Chain A
């Protein structure tokens, strides 16, 4: 009685589509067969090379060799290309194996139906099954492929890099080979004095920055929102539009403009200070003042966002709470402390954490405003205002210290992921989403 299912499954395991053909699902069977044959052909040709490439990262750099009797420089193995190509092949293999498993399971199920005397789905029914019952999975295929190759593949690549010695000056393909070195990069980052000094210095500033930037913009936003929403203030809409301007200007523009405004020699800010008889300040050139400047400019950029958020929360606070407080004779400050502030904090707490995580990674602000400068002498390629991300950028694109940069990237990721996952898991939209309706 259970012949069909076994035979179908075994046939499918031998080659994709055979089991379906056995089950007389002709169109599906032929389509799967074509896919199966092509994939097998591809993997037979590529898989060996891919695994060899990933395992060894090439065994010969560019070298001198005799070509037609002349000694020439011959291109050797390009370790990084080998690594990526291997990675892509392995990922395709993973996709293929999932498909293969599904194919066997499908043939088995169709065979089971036949054993029980039910005719298996014809092609039209199959299509219907895919688009109606498995709708979500089919819908997600396209985005999933995009994410797989343009996000997941690069991330795995980056993680792998941290375990190689891919770095200037001695291990840059195509001239030289790259090798696997295990955890050496991480130990160097923490143990080598020059690197660890920079790393902990930059890490400390990154955390100070993230806390200050988040707190100042958040409470600045609360203050401004309360200011506008007070009883008796007129033209609320107008104030709101004016105060939203910094948010509306693209950061690329506003930050480059700010860089010019804070220019120590010719910038208008120092010009005004001198006009009032004060010395100009070294806004962007002194380590301390540069830090002050980035915080100030970040307030300018960030307060409008918090303001908008807080304003939308303020409108949702029930009026009767305040009326009840009035009856009890509460003062304005008491009302703020007992009703307004807790309400605001309660509903914006998740945004606050998101902003904190965002500030750790606030590349634009630092990069466009100070570019991490002023330079600190005993840092490795970092300046006084460099965050971990901007340092990472310099290590990657300017210094080509890819392995070190990858290690730092992984550390940044661990920090931010901790915050965000904790935050997201707490929100109701994740925990009990089916209860919102």
Chain B
């Protein structure tokens, strides 16, 4: 009887705690979604649920002259997709090479990758800015794609390598005996087996450009070339939060695709996080 009682108390307490935590987790998301349907512009509202629902702010996003939402969405999508594809390929190339081959300077290359990833990025931005300027690439999307993709191996290689290390090498050796070239092994064995990790890698490489506003703001000079993040940042900064409901609507549309992807792929995310760091 005593144990049952104790159990019931424990469970009730746990449920109460869980509900409180759940409310804390959901509240900001709920608040911003509801705010985006609220008439008026101000941050202040009497209650969480608006008295009247309106779609005006979403309409404004697509009609506004100063907030080129559609153009920015397409820009962002383009930059994010291209950097994702090129970046993923580069990460795969480097991690395959360092995972499967033993060559002189390999450990040093690995340490270098690790160390380079730790420099604060802002200082390099000035150098990259001047470099892009001399290549005549300022204010172009190509520049963004090149820089994002070229940076991808730094962040991704160690994680990806950790994963590739777990694919048994006997598979490669068997294929080698059958006369497969390295490239065939890569394409026919490594690629199919590392699908979950590739998904994770692509996702992170896609999200990066989607939300980056610091570098994008530096390179993209004209409004038509901006990305969503730059536009949103500008909205927040220039209007000093006085156009809050428009900000809310934009936030919802920017966050939605990423949030859905993340929730959908959450199991992969854990594998991704643990593969690089805690393996062994």
Chain A residues with a Cβ under 8 A of chain B? 80-81, 84-85, 88, 131-132, 134-137, 139-140, 142-143, 146-147, 149-155, 157-158, 161, 224, 227-228, 230, 232-233, 239-254, 256-258, 260-261, 263, 265-268, 271, 300, 304-305, 308-309, 311-312, 347-351, 354, 357, 361, 363, 389, 392-393, 396-397, 402, 405-406, 409, 412-413, 416-417, 420-421, 424, 427-430, 433, 436-437
Contacts and interface: CB of A to CB of B under 8 A. Distances in A.
A409 B150 contact: no
Interface string B15-52: 10110011011101101100000000011110010000
Interface in B102-137: 103, 106, 109-111, 113-116, 118-120, 122-128, 130-131, 134
Contacts of B223: none
Contact of A351 (B100, B162, B229, B274): B274
B28 A389 contact: no
Interface in B232-280: 232-233, 236, 241, 244, 247, 251, 254-255, 258-259, 262-263, 266, 269-270, 273-274, 277-280
Contact of A136 (B26, B103, B127, B236): B103
7 contacts: A135-B182, A256-B232, A257-B28, A257-B251, A258-B28, A309-B270, A397-B122
Nearest to A226: B14
B201 interface: no
B94 A140 contact: yes
Kindly state the interface size class of chain B when it binds its partner. 35 or more
A247 B255 CA distance: 11
Contacts of B32: 253, 257
Contacts of B279: 427-429, 436
Nearest to A242: B22
B255 A249 contact: yes
**Among B45, B118, B154, which residue has the most Cβ atoms of chain A within 10 A?**
B118
A266 B120 contact: no
B280 A429 contact: yes
A312 B44 contact: no
A53 B251 CA distance: 47
Nearest to A245: B25
B93 A227 contact: no
B56 interface: no
What DSSP secondary structure best describes chain B's contact surface? helix
Contacts of B109: 140
B280 A421 contact: no
A374 B233 CA distance: 20
B72 interface: no
Interface of B: 7, 10-11, 14-15, 17-18, 21-22, 24-26, 28-29, 31-32, 42-45, 48, 90, 93-94, 96-98, 100-101, 103, 106, 109-111, 113-116, 118-120, 122-128, 130-131, 134, 146-147, 149-151, 153-154, 158, 161-162, 165-166, 168-170, 181-183, 207, 210-211, 213-214, 229, 232-233, 236, 241, 244, 247, 251, 254-255, 258-259, 262-263, 266, 269-270, 273-274, 277-280
Nearest to B250: A253
Contact of B119 (A155, A228, A251): A155
Contact of A309 (B115, B120, B122, B273): B273
Contact of A158 (B127, B162, B280): B127
